[in-house]
Protein backbone atom coordinates (compact mmCIF):
# COMPACT_ATOMS: atom_id res chain seq x y z
CA UNK A 1 0.00 0.00 0.00
CA UNK A 2 0.99 3.63 -0.48
CA UNK A 3 1.52 4.33 3.21
CA UNK A 4 4.54 2.01 3.06
CA UNK A 5 6.27 4.15 0.43
CA UNK A 6 6.43 7.79 1.47
CA UNK A 7 7.37 9.42 4.76
CA UNK A 8 5.59 12.66 3.80
CA UNK A 9 8.19 15.01 5.15
CA UNK A 10 10.36 17.76 3.70
CA UNK A 11 13.66 19.50 4.26
CA UNK A 12 12.82 22.34 6.60
CA UNK A 13 14.92 22.64 9.67
CA UNK A 14 17.05 20.39 11.82
CA UNK A 15 16.02 16.82 11.02
CA UNK A 16 14.29 15.39 7.97
CA UNK A 17 12.20 12.31 8.60
CA UNK A 18 13.12 9.86 5.83
CA UNK A 19 11.59 6.84 7.55
CA UNK A 20 8.19 5.36 6.86
CA UNK A 21 6.63 3.62 9.86
CA UNK A 22 4.56 0.76 8.44
CA UNK A 23 3.19 -2.70 9.15
CA UNK A 24 3.91 -5.74 7.02
CA UNK A 25 6.43 -6.77 4.36
CA UNK A 26 6.94 -4.80 1.15
CA UNK A 27 6.83 -6.91 -2.02
CA UNK A 28 9.90 -7.19 -4.25
CA UNK A 29 10.18 -4.77 -7.16
CA UNK A 30 9.78 -1.04 -7.83
CA UNK A 31 7.41 1.15 -5.82
CA UNK A 32 6.83 4.89 -6.01
CA UNK A 33 4.57 7.66 -4.78
CA UNK A 34 3.93 11.39 -5.16
CA UNK A 35 2.32 13.53 -2.50
CA UNK A 36 0.70 16.97 -2.91
CA UNK A 37 -1.01 18.89 -0.15
CA UNK A 38 -1.34 21.93 2.10
CA UNK A 39 1.17 22.82 4.84
CA UNK A 40 0.73 25.18 7.82
CA UNK A 41 4.09 26.17 9.37
CA UNK A 42 5.03 28.04 12.55
CA UNK A 43 8.47 28.90 13.93
CA UNK A 44 11.14 29.97 11.45
CA UNK A 45 8.61 29.66 8.63
CA UNK A 46 5.19 31.21 9.24
CA UNK A 47 3.11 30.44 6.19
CA UNK A 48 0.40 28.41 4.58
CA UNK A 49 1.46 26.90 1.31
CA UNK A 50 1.60 23.94 -1.02
CA UNK A 51 3.78 20.92 -0.41
CA UNK A 52 5.17 18.44 -2.95
CA UNK A 53 7.26 15.34 -2.23
CA UNK A 54 8.13 12.11 -4.01
CA UNK A 55 9.53 8.71 -3.12
CA UNK A 56 10.94 5.76 -5.03
CA UNK A 57 11.91 2.34 -3.68
CA UNK A 58 13.39 -0.87 -5.05
CA UNK A 59 13.29 -4.07 -2.99
CA UNK A 60 14.97 -7.35 -3.81
CA UNK A 61 15.01 -10.15 -1.26
CA UNK A 62 16.64 -8.72 1.89
CA UNK A 63 17.83 -5.45 0.26
CA UNK A 64 15.88 -2.20 0.03
CA UNK A 65 17.03 1.02 -1.70
CA UNK A 66 14.96 4.17 -1.18
CA UNK A 67 15.22 7.66 -2.69
CA UNK A 68 13.19 10.60 -1.35
CA UNK A 69 13.19 14.18 -2.54
CA UNK A 70 11.24 17.40 -2.02
CA UNK A 71 11.50 21.11 -2.73
CA UNK A 72 9.51 24.29 -3.05
CA UNK A 73 9.70 28.04 -3.49
CA UNK A 74 6.83 29.89 -1.80
CA UNK A 75 6.06 33.33 -0.40
CA UNK A 76 5.58 33.40 3.34
CA UNK A 77 4.01 35.89 5.71
CA UNK A 78 5.90 39.19 5.68
CA UNK A 79 6.91 38.79 2.02
CA UNK A 80 9.74 36.41 2.89
CA UNK A 81 10.49 33.75 0.30
CA UNK A 82 10.88 30.12 1.35
CA UNK A 83 13.45 28.17 -0.64
CA UNK A 84 13.96 24.52 0.23
CA UNK A 85 15.52 21.52 -1.47
CA UNK A 86 16.25 18.05 -0.15
CA UNK A 87 17.25 14.56 -1.29
CA UNK A 88 18.02 11.37 0.65
CA UNK A 89 19.27 8.00 -0.61
CA UNK A 90 19.46 5.02 1.73
CA UNK A 91 20.06 1.29 1.63
CA UNK A 92 18.90 -1.31 4.14
CA UNK A 93 20.01 -4.94 4.30
CA UNK A 94 18.17 -7.43 6.51
CA UNK A 95 21.22 -9.60 7.18
CA UNK A 96 20.09 -11.33 10.39
CA UNK A 97 16.37 -11.01 11.04
CA UNK A 98 15.29 -8.84 12.89
CA UNK A 99 18.52 -6.78 12.50
CA UNK A 100 19.32 -4.69 9.40
CA UNK A 101 22.26 -2.57 8.36
CA UNK A 102 21.48 0.99 7.23
CA UNK A 103 23.61 3.30 5.03
CA UNK A 104 22.53 6.74 3.82
CA UNK A 105 23.60 9.99 2.14
CA UNK A 106 21.68 13.28 2.12
CA UNK A 107 21.80 16.85 0.78
CA UNK A 108 19.77 19.67 2.30
CA UNK A 109 19.21 23.39 1.65
CA UNK A 110 16.89 25.60 3.72
CA UNK A 111 16.94 29.40 3.38
CA UNK A 112 14.77 29.95 6.47
CA UNK A 113 17.30 28.12 8.62
CA UNK A 114 20.17 30.04 7.05
CA UNK A 115 21.35 26.71 5.68
CA UNK A 116 23.24 27.14 2.42
CA UNK A 117 24.23 23.46 2.42
CA UNK A 118 24.10 20.43 4.69
CA UNK A 119 25.61 17.24 3.31
CA UNK A 120 25.76 14.11 5.42
CA UNK A 121 26.52 10.41 5.23
CA UNK A 122 26.13 7.72 7.84
CA UNK A 123 25.58 4.07 8.73
CA UNK A 124 24.30 1.94 11.57
CA UNK A 125 21.85 -0.77 12.62
CA UNK A 126 18.07 -1.03 12.59
CA UNK A 127 16.39 -3.39 15.08
CA UNK A 128 12.80 -4.55 14.51
CA UNK A 129 11.51 -4.65 18.09
CA UNK A 130 8.25 -6.44 17.31
CA UNK A 131 5.88 -7.21 14.46
CA UNK A 132 2.27 -8.35 14.51
CA UNK A 133 -0.56 -8.32 12.00
CA UNK A 134 -1.67 -4.89 13.23
CA UNK A 135 1.52 -3.24 14.55
CA UNK A 136 5.30 -2.94 14.05
CA UNK A 137 8.13 -1.01 15.76
CA UNK A 138 11.81 -0.32 14.99
CA UNK A 139 14.79 1.15 16.88
CA UNK A 140 17.71 2.60 14.90
CA UNK A 141 21.25 3.39 16.11
CA UNK A 142 23.40 5.18 13.52
CA UNK A 143 26.40 7.53 13.32
CA UNK A 144 26.77 10.19 10.64
CA UNK A 145 29.27 12.76 9.45
CA UNK A 146 27.77 16.17 8.68
CA UNK A 147 29.20 19.11 6.74
CA UNK A 148 27.38 22.46 6.97
CA UNK A 149 27.69 25.86 5.32
CA UNK A 150 25.48 28.71 6.54
CA UNK A 151 24.17 31.66 4.56
CA UNK A 152 25.58 35.13 5.18
CA UNK A 153 24.31 36.56 8.47
CA UNK A 154 23.66 33.14 10.03
CA UNK A 155 26.51 31.92 12.22
CA UNK A 156 26.92 29.14 14.79
CA UNK A 157 29.41 26.51 15.89
CA UNK A 158 27.84 23.78 13.74
CA UNK A 159 29.44 25.14 10.56
CA UNK A 160 32.05 22.78 9.14
CA UNK A 161 32.46 19.04 9.65
CA UNK A 162 31.07 17.25 12.73
CA UNK A 163 29.92 13.78 13.77
CA UNK A 164 26.52 13.01 15.31
CA UNK A 165 24.50 10.10 16.49
CA UNK A 166 21.21 9.74 14.61
CA UNK A 167 18.99 7.47 16.68
CA UNK A 168 15.30 6.85 16.02
CA UNK A 169 12.24 4.96 17.18
CA UNK A 170 9.30 4.25 14.86
CA UNK A 171 5.99 2.55 15.55
CA UNK A 172 2.88 2.02 13.43
CA UNK A 173 -0.58 0.64 14.15
CA UNK A 174 -3.05 -0.21 11.39
CA UNK A 175 -6.60 -1.27 10.80
CA UNK A 176 -8.01 -2.37 7.45
CA UNK A 177 -8.02 1.20 6.07
CA UNK A 178 -6.17 3.43 8.59
CA UNK A 179 -2.52 3.62 9.66
CA UNK A 180 -1.41 5.62 12.74
CA UNK A 181 2.37 6.16 12.88
CA UNK A 182 4.97 7.91 15.02
CA UNK A 183 8.67 8.65 14.41
CA UNK A 184 11.09 10.08 17.00
CA UNK A 185 14.65 11.20 16.12
CA UNK A 186 17.43 12.30 18.52
CA UNK A 187 20.76 13.58 17.10
CA UNK A 188 23.40 14.61 19.69
CA UNK A 189 26.80 15.87 18.48
CA UNK A 190 29.47 13.41 19.55
CA UNK A 191 32.01 16.00 20.71
CA UNK A 192 29.37 18.16 22.48
CA UNK A 193 26.41 16.26 23.90
CA UNK A 194 24.65 19.48 24.93
CA UNK A 195 24.27 20.21 21.19
CA UNK A 196 21.36 18.03 20.11
CA UNK A 197 18.42 17.92 17.70
CA UNK A 198 15.01 16.35 18.25
CA UNK A 199 12.08 15.49 15.99
CA UNK A 200 8.67 14.01 16.75
CA UNK A 201 6.29 13.27 13.90
CA UNK A 202 2.84 11.66 14.15
CA UNK A 203 0.60 10.88 11.20
CA UNK A 204 -2.66 9.29 10.14
CA UNK A 205 -3.08 7.77 6.68
CA UNK A 206 -6.43 6.64 5.27
CA UNK A 207 -6.78 4.38 2.22
CA UNK A 208 -9.16 5.91 -0.31
CA UNK A 209 -8.50 3.45 -3.12
CA UNK A 210 -5.79 1.04 -4.26
CA UNK A 211 -3.54 3.86 -5.48
CA UNK A 212 -4.78 6.87 -3.49
CA UNK A 213 -4.38 7.76 0.21
CA UNK A 214 -5.15 10.78 2.36
CA UNK A 215 -2.51 11.75 4.96
CA UNK A 216 -2.53 14.15 7.92
CA UNK A 217 0.76 14.82 9.75
CA UNK A 218 1.95 16.91 12.70
CA UNK A 219 5.66 17.56 13.33
CA UNK A 220 7.70 19.20 16.12
CA UNK A 221 11.43 19.94 15.66
CA UNK A 222 13.87 21.40 18.17
CA UNK A 223 17.52 22.45 17.81
CA UNK A 224 19.33 23.09 21.10
CA UNK A 225 21.95 25.29 19.37
CA UNK A 226 20.37 27.04 16.36
CA UNK A 227 22.26 29.64 14.29
CA UNK A 228 22.05 33.29 15.31
CA UNK A 229 18.62 34.69 14.47
CA UNK A 230 16.98 31.27 14.09
CA UNK A 231 14.24 30.05 16.44
CA UNK A 232 14.92 26.69 18.17
CA UNK A 233 11.45 25.18 17.57
CA UNK A 234 9.53 24.57 14.32
CA UNK A 235 5.99 23.23 14.00
CA UNK A 236 4.22 21.88 10.93
CA UNK A 237 0.73 20.59 10.17
CA UNK A 238 0.35 18.93 6.77
CA UNK A 239 -2.56 17.41 4.90
CA UNK A 240 -2.57 15.98 1.40
CA UNK A 241 -3.19 13.21 -1.08
CA UNK A 242 -0.67 10.49 -1.94
CA UNK A 243 -0.71 8.75 -5.30
CA UNK A 244 1.13 5.44 -5.49
CA UNK A 245 2.41 3.54 -8.50
For the entire predicted model, the pTM comes to 0.82
Reported as a single tens digit per residue, the pLDDT across 151-194 is 665 556 666 788 999 999 999 999 999 999 999 999 999 999 99
- What pLDDT was estimated at residue 153? 58
Gyration radius (Cα) of the chain, Å:
17
pLDDT for 7 equals: 32
Based on the structure, what is the number of domains in the chain? 1
Q: For position 140, which CATH number holds?
A: 2.40.160.40
Tell me the C-alpha to C-alpha distance, in Å, between residue 244 and each of 9, 126, 205. Answer: 16, 26, 13
Which ranges of the chain have pLDDT less than 70? 1-17, 44-45, 71-84, 110-116, 150-159
Domain range spanning residue 106? Answer: 2-244
Query: Residue 125: CB partners within 8 Å, gap ≥ 6?
Result: 99, 100, 101, 102, 140, 141, 142
pLDDT (tens digit per residue) in 89-100: 999 999 999 999
Bridge partners of residue 126, in order along the sequence: 100, 140
Please check whether residue 223 is in contact with residue 232, taking contact to mean a CB–CB distance below 8 angstroms.
Answer: yes
DSSP string, 100-168: EEEEEEEEEEEGGGTEEEEEEEEEEEEEEEEE-SSEEEEEEEEEEEEEEEEPTT---TT-EEEEEE-EE
Task: Say how far apart CA 98 and CA 21 lie, in whole Å.
Answer: 15
Q: Are 168 and 182 in contact (CB under 8 A)?
A: no
Positive/negative CA dihedral, 230, 232, 237, 241: positive
Amino acid sequence: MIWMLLGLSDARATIVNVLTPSVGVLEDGWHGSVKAGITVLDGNEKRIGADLASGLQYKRSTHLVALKASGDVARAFGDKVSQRAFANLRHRWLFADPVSTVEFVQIDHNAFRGLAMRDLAGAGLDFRLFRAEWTEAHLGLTVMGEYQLHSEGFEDDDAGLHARMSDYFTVAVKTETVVLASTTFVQPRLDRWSNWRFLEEVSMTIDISEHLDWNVLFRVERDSSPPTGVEPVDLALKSGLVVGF
